[in-house]
Amino acid sequence: MIIIMKSDFTDNDMKDINKRLTDGGLQGQKIEGTEKTVIAVVGNVYPELRDEFSRMDGVASVVRISKPYKLSSRETQPNDTIINLPFNVDVGGSNFVVMAGPCSIENHDQLFETAQAVKNSGAHVLRGGAFKPRSSPYSFRGLGEEGLKLLAQAREEFNMPVITEVLSYRDVDLVAQYSDILQIGARNMQNFILLDEVGKTGKPIMLKRALAGSIEEWLLASEYILSQNNPNVILCERGIRTFEKATRNTLDLNAIALVKQLSHLPVISDPSHGTGLWDLVEPMSLASIAVGADGLMIEVHPNPEVALSDGPQSLKPDNFDKLMKVASNLTNMVGKPMAAKPH
């Protein structure tokens, strides 16, 4: 349910509503829009209670949210969510944002060389994995805290916000100390305890879609974070598993276009994992822009042949530079130009 407030509601009206919500065992979240203030209410709201709220002072109307996902729904919040990152980078709304960097942080020189290159080409956010979810336990699983430290050094050196994955609830506080955005990987989309914990940090969270996650399950997963009173959720389409084996995954462009209708949250496309093939990254980036994505996440490596993870899908810096030039033309054409450079 959402409670839409009259334009002249008072502090006392709000206090009475909050008290009634608490008495009824309900959770309310105030959302202040440009035109009106609403309270998104989650919990079991039976019809008589809804009527009671509609009669309270300061209330203009009460609307039932038909979707199972509530806080992420455009029914609750019609305007796009815009997330402010450090270094003056905004995600969502009319801003197009590019996150780029290596799949895994391997060492100082590999990270810094990549960071310098992606910054020069106009990337907004530096990515780099320190805790890596690998199909085989014998593959490189990341540098852990040492990798986080390198990422934090690169953040200061290149003045750009950083994103990295947190794999386990036990590492949430550690990763939150170093990273501006916490990434929840595809394999953890429905790790509900981890979602609760990252939600509590209040930090921006990028929630990747699971390999076999439906759109509804993805949006319901985002509710776990949002319902911790953390509105800073970014969604990331990274391809789903289909019968097709010629590409690593199938980048679901339908999902990007549909989720933009269903939800106010920013949607980033990851054509690197979505295809698994570096020479499909540019065409699928452009396709993602055309269907309404709010940004891209691209894996870049100075020397993909020797990368410790995801080399075959990583762009060399010069190909990334080429992609950025074509992409910025298209983002201008669709009316969502590249966000201001980090500064």
> Contact residues for Mn ion (CB under 5 A)?
103, 310
Distance CA 187, CA 19 (A): 39
Q: Considering the complex, what minimum distance in angstroms separates the CB of residue 132 from Mn ion?
A: 8
Both tokens assigned to 206: 């990028």
88 versus 319: smaller Cβ distance to Mn ion: 319
The reply to whether 311 sits near ligand PEP by the rule CB under 6 A is: no
Query: If DSSP states are collapsed to H, E and C, what string results for 132-198?
Result: CCCCCCCCCCCCCHHHHHHHHHHHHHHCCCEEEECCCHHHHHHHHHHCCEEEECHHHCCCHHHHHHH
264 binds ligand PEP (CB under 6 A): no
Enumerate residues 64-123 that contact ligand PEP by CB under 6 A: 103
**Which tokens belong to 115?**
């960071």
Nearest to 174 by CA among 185, 165, 162: 165
User: Among 124, 238, 301, 336, which residue interacts with ligand PEP (rule: CB under 6 A)?
Assistant: 238
Q: Minimal distance in Å, beta carbon 106 to ligand PEP? A: 13
Residue nearest to Mn ion (CB): 103
- Nearer to ligand PEP (CB atom), residue 44 or residue 135: 135
Check binding of 251 to ligand PEP (CB under 6 A).
no
Report, in Å, the least distance between residue 236 CB and ligand PEP: 7
Instruction: Calculate the CA dihedral of residues 128, 314, 139, 144 and round it to 10 degrees.
Output: -10
Using CB under 6 A, which of 93, 133, 144, 311 touches ligand PEP? 133
Structure tokens at 108: 């100082």
Please pick, from the candidates 119, 124, 208, 260, the single residue that binds ligand PEP as defined by CB under 6 A. 208
Q: How many angstroms separate the CA atoms of 104 and 54, rounded? A: 52
- Tell me the CB-side half-sphere exposure of residue 17, using CA atoms within 13 A: 30
Count interface residues toward ligand PEP (CB under 6 A).
9
Is 103 or 287 the residue whose CB approaches Mn ion more closely?
Answer: 103
Residue closer to ligand PEP, measured from CB, 208 or 336: 208
**Residue 248 or 264 having the CB closest to ligand PEP:** 248
What is the rounded CA–CA span in Å between residue 23 and residue 134? 47
- Residue 64 has which token pair? 């039932």
User: Which listed range, 15-23, 109-117, 170-178, 185-193, lies at the site for ligand PEP (CB under 6 A)?
Assistant: 185-193
Residues at the site binding ligand PEP, with contacts judged by CB under 6 A: 103, 129, 133, 185-187, 208, 238, 273
